[in-house]
Amino acid sequence: MDQVQLQNHLRSGQRVYGTLIISTSPRWPVEVRKLGLDFVFIDTEHMSIDRDMLSWMCRTYSALGLAPIVRIPSPDPYEASKAMDAGAAGIVAPYIETAEQVQALRGAVKLRPIKGKKLTRIVQGNEEPEEPLAAYLEQYNAGNILIVNIESEPALEALDAILQVPQLDGVLIGPHDLSCSLNIPEQYDHPVFKEAVSTIIRKARAAHVAAGIHYFWGVEQEIAWGQEGLNLFVHASDMTAFIAQMERDLNEIKLRLGDNLQNTDNNIRI
């Protein structure tokens, strides 16, 4: 779906499905399209993707009808602007802990190309764009998607204020960082972690903001959270899908031929 359709689904609570794309192969977008995804998640926080490659990826996936959502390297409005200029349908800002950070990112995503003191006055509610600028900004930024990572205890404490920021489209749980911040590292079955996720889902959906998670560790838990109201699914990645399927196939071949199985550690910490 395109970015306007994706944004409408997010805001209305309809479920949307994507995966993390690591491969930069020029053939890969055509193959990924066959999965029937709604969007692709491109991570420039943890992955080494330069601006030129990012733009090629974003514009290729957009041309194939898959909205590209880009996680920027830091919660910096200028990084958000660079991703949007590259052709992103929207951004995910990592490690957000205050409503003020979200307001600044809102300016970069929803009110571009305004910058400087004028943007500060608008974001702070001290000025309203006048016509014809107001109509231009609405048209120019139509469909631009703003999502922020909730992945720390301070973010949980500030969640109510974060969810009140106008034009916020979604919150995306970062399970690894969140579990570490809660002092239960990688214990995704821990009651404290599950309660935190449920709280984020409940509060986000009550505020008409999409609730999502990037998750690698089995579909049953994702289904359960979907039943609670989770509607933004970033499931695993192309790399982990390759590893998992390859491991299954090779282990079956080795087992049936009487060869030793390889011990692997497929824990993912993104």
Q: What is the 3-state secondary structure (H, E, C) of 233-270?
A: EEEEEHHHHHHHHHHHHHHHHHHHHCCCCCCCCCCCCC
Confidence of residue 261 (pLDDT cuts 50, 70, 90): confident
Exposed e or buried b per residue across 189-210, where buried means at least 16 C-beta atoms within 10 angstroms of its C-beta: eeeebeebbbebbebbbebebb
Q: The whole model's pTM is what?
A: 0.93
Residue 37 has, within 13 A of its CA and on its CB side, a CA count of 30
SS3 155: helix
pLDDT tens, 63-121? 999 999 999 999 999 999 999 999 999 999 999 999 999 999 999 999 999 999 999 99
Q: Which of 91, 96, 84 is nearest to 149 (CA)?
A: 96
CA-to-CA distance for 94 and 72, rounded, in angstroms? 7
Confidence of residue 260 (pLDDT cuts 50, 70, 90): confident
Helices (H) and strands (E) in the chain, counts: 13, 8
- For the CA atoms of 105, 111, 116, 119, the dihedral, rounded to the nearest 10 degrees, stands at -100
> Within its chain, how far is the Cα of 218 from the centroid?
18
Omega of the bond prior to 132 within 30 degrees of 0, cis?
A: yes
In the predicted structure, residue 266 carries a pLDDT above the cut 90:
no
- Considering only 61-65, 215-219, 236-240, which range has the smallest mean pLDDT? 215-219
pLDDT tens, 191-216? 999 999 999 999 999 999 999 999 99
